[in-house]
């Protein structure tokens, strides 16, 4: 009986672990992830998914889930001052409407009256608005430079993009000085901004006495 109980616990833990692995990435900036449509388990997949997102006018998905998260977060932070006043104005208007019609508001969607709690909600909303500004900037840049997408398609024709630890790069002799670079973050590959390759992982330190 004890062995059966132990086996049940172990199997239950294994099932839980598999369920955890199967969990999709969380939303970013209110954009849901969709790994079946935009896989990124390998550098070539990430590049193909980025092209698919651009061709399908899914620049929000490109920025939220396919570009390197640290770069995107930094770009959003830079744009927050541009939208802070708008974010606060929008939420104050929404909170006033909720006060006038409390029966139409669920507890989950109710905006707080307490100043610090309200300021936190405003800050979160400002980051979402700043993200939307970033998405428009990316879309405008690609519209002004259609050769960027054309070049990405050429890079995507490479049969395989080899990885070196958590970094990868693809270059072409026909496009000197150009390349697409990738970073592995939490088992998913992301495109890096710019033309500089990522820093290669440092080699392991030698064992003492060697």
Give the model's pLDDT for residue 194.
61
* 3-class DSSP state of 50: helix
Q: Assign 161 a pLDDT band (cuts: 50, 70, 90).
A: very high
Q: For the residues 12-36, what does the mean pLDDT come to?
A: 70
Q: Range of 176's domain?
A: 32-191
Instruction: Establish if 6 belongs to a structural domain.
Output: no
Instruction: Establish if 144 belongs to a structural domain.
Output: yes
The runs of H, that is alpha helices, within the chain are 2-22, 43-55, 59-61, 69-100, 115-144, 147-156
Instruction: Establish if 149 belongs to a structural domain.
Output: yes
Please tell me the pTM assigned to this model.
Answer: 0.81
Instruction: Establish if 71 belongs to a structural domain.
Output: yes
Q: Assign 198 a pLDDT band (cuts: 50, 70, 90).
A: very low
Total structural domains within the chain: 1
Instruction: Establish if 50 belongs to a structural domain.
Output: yes
* 3-class DSSP state of 174: coil
Instruction: Establish if 15 belongs to a structural domain.
Output: no
Instruction: Establish if 57 belongs to a structural domain.
Output: yes
Instruction: Establish if 84 belongs to a structural domain.
Output: yes
């Amino acid at each position: 009986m004890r062995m059966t109980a132990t086996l049940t616990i172990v199997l239950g833990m294994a099932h839980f672990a598999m369920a955890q692995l199967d969990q999709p990435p969380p939303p970013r900036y209110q954009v849901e992830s969709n790994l079946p449509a935009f896989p990124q388990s390998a550098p070539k997949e990430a590049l193909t998914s980025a092209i698919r997102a651009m061709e399908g006018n899914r620049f929000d998905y490109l920025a939220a889930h396919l570009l390197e998260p640290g770069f995107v977060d930094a770009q959003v932070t830079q744009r927050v001052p541009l939208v802070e006043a708008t974010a606060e104005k929008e939420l104050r208007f929404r909170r006033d409407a909720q006060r006038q019609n409390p029966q139409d508001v669920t507890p989950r969607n109710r905006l707080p009256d307490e100043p610090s709690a309200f300021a936190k909600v405003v800050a979160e909303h400002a980051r979402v608005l700043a993200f939307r500004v970033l998405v428009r900037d990316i879309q405008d840049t690609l519209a002004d430079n259609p050769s960027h997408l054309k070049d990405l398609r050429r890079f995507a024709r490479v049969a395989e993009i080899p990885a070196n630890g958590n970094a990868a790069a693809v270059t072409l002799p026909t496009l000197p000085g150009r390349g697409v670079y990738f970073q592995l973050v939490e088992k998913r590959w992301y495109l890096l901004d710019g033309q500089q390759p990522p820093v290669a992982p440092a080699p392991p330190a030698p064992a003492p006495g060697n």
